[in-house]
Each structure stands twice: as C-alpha cells, then as structure tokens.
Structure 1
C-alpha cells in the first residue's frame, strides 16, 4: 500500500474518533492518568486496594472516552466544528481535577482553602441551584480534621 493512502486512512479514523482540540484531549488523557495513579496510591495508603473497585473505575474511565467519541460524532453530524466535543472534554477535565483534589485530600495532603471553599458546593452531590440578588454571606463549617462539614449561605435582600 502507498504511504499516502495509509496516512489518509489514519487521518479519516482520527477525525471520526476526535476532531476537537488535540491539546484538550492530551490534557484529559494526562488528568485521567494522574487520577488513576492517585486513586491507586490512595487505595494502597489506606489498605483499601481492591481489584474489583479498580476494574469498575477503569470501566468508568473507558466509558468517559466513549462519550467523548460519541460527542465527536454528534458534533460532526451537526457541523459543530469541534465546539460540542471540546465542551465535553473540558467538562471531563474538570471532573478529573475534582477527583484528583478529592484523592489528595483523602491522602492527607493540604489543599488551599480557596479551592476547598469553591468546591464545597459540590460536597455530597449538592450544588447551588438558585441565584438570589442581594448581599450574601457564606459560612463554612469544618470538622476537627479541617474537612468541610457544612456550608451556610445567608442572603439579605436590599
């Protein structure tokens, strides 16, 4: 086979699987790798390393990449020029970042308050659902280990 034909066929497959920003995909791959390593480190440090749990985690990671491929195909069908697939990849980069921070926190590494305070709204699956105009004060309640226990938001309307 001619080298040009092989390269063209590889580019067709690459475009079918991912036509977004390759830098974002590389960042997602690195974040996924770091998250897997930090998860294994956490399991090892806490003596909770289980092959079934690791297999489930790897299956979730594989499924994440299937969703990226699906978003790419949908993006191409609707001629999104990479916008849709890039948004999905950025979403998963944020998810992987949150997981990395959570693993670091569980390993006992200090996490800056500015990060933990901003991530507090996602604790226990709760998120801020409504924006209310007015002056707001936020109180973050931490336990003796410094982990966030509760977040209280009070709004005074003017």
Structure 2
C-alpha cells in the first residue's frame, strides 16, 4: 500500500509540473468539462442519439485539452515561467466547453437567458 501511495504521489507531482500551478482557471475548466460530458450524455438519451463511440471520442478530445495545456505550460517555462500561454489556452478551452454545455442545454429545451447565449455565440463566431 505504501508503494502505491509513492507511485500516486510521484505521478501527481509530475503532472503538476507538466500542467503548472493549479489555479482557478484550471478548476473552472475541469468543472466545465465535467458539465459538458454529463449534459452531452443526458442530451444523447433525450434525443435518442446516445453513442458510446461519440462519448469515447469526447473523452479523448478532453484528454487532448490537457496535452494543449502541457504544451502551453512548457512554452511558459521557456519564457520565464509567467503563465501567459497556459492562461490563454485555459480561457479558450473554458469558452469552448461553455459553448458546448449551452448547446447541449438548448438541445434539451432548457430555457437560457438571451444575454448568455449571445455572448457565447459571439465567442464561437469569432473563433471560426
């Protein structure tokens, strides 16, 4: 059991170094990723389009988000450790996940404030 604890500790330490310091933007990103996954599954059931293949692709895409964060953090380390690139990537991914959550909610006919829909739609349109 103690060996497993050491392995777990070393793994998390390595991941922390790769991703960088954990901050609010990363916490928000993880929450949005989880919300997107859950709302996507519920939407799939409600619209009779649930697919394990689609779900697997979604999980793999979210894993690649962390690869993007690692690349951005390495660039930050290269320029002196100021989290410029990682912050940009995290904010961009938060917007993408937020848009996806709102699209899932809309597909399930959940009423949303027009201002929120417009803001996320403008972000989405700017990134096309």
TM-score using structure 2 length: 0.80
In structure 2, the residue matched to 1:133 is none
Distance 1:19 1:121, change over 3 A: closer
1:85 aligns with 2:86: yes
Q: Deviation per CA, 1:47-70, whole angstroms, max 9, x where unpaired?
A: 111111111111111111111111
Gaps of 5+ in 2: 1-6
- For the 8 Å contact 2:19–2:66, the answer to whether it is kept is no
TM-score w.r.t. the length of structure 1 is: 0.66
Report the Cα offset of residue 23 of structure 1. 1.9
Q: Deviations over 1:73-103 (max 9, x none)?
A: 1110121411221121111111111111111
SS of match in other structure, 1:71:
helix
> How many residues of Structure 1 are paired with residues of Structure 2 in the alignment?
123
Aligned to 2:32: 31
Report which of the two has the higher share of strand: 1
Whose RCO is larger (CA < 8 A, sep 6+)?
2
Asked if the contact 1:20–1:81 (Cα under 8 Å) also holds between the matched residues in 2, the reply is no
Q: Which protein is richer in helix relative to its size?
A: 2
The within-5 A match list for 1:1-158 is: 13-121=14-122, 126-127=125-126
Quote the RMSD (CA, aligned, Å). 2.8
Please report how far the alpha carbon of residue 128 of structure 1 lies from its aligned counterpart in structure 2 after TM superposition.
9.0
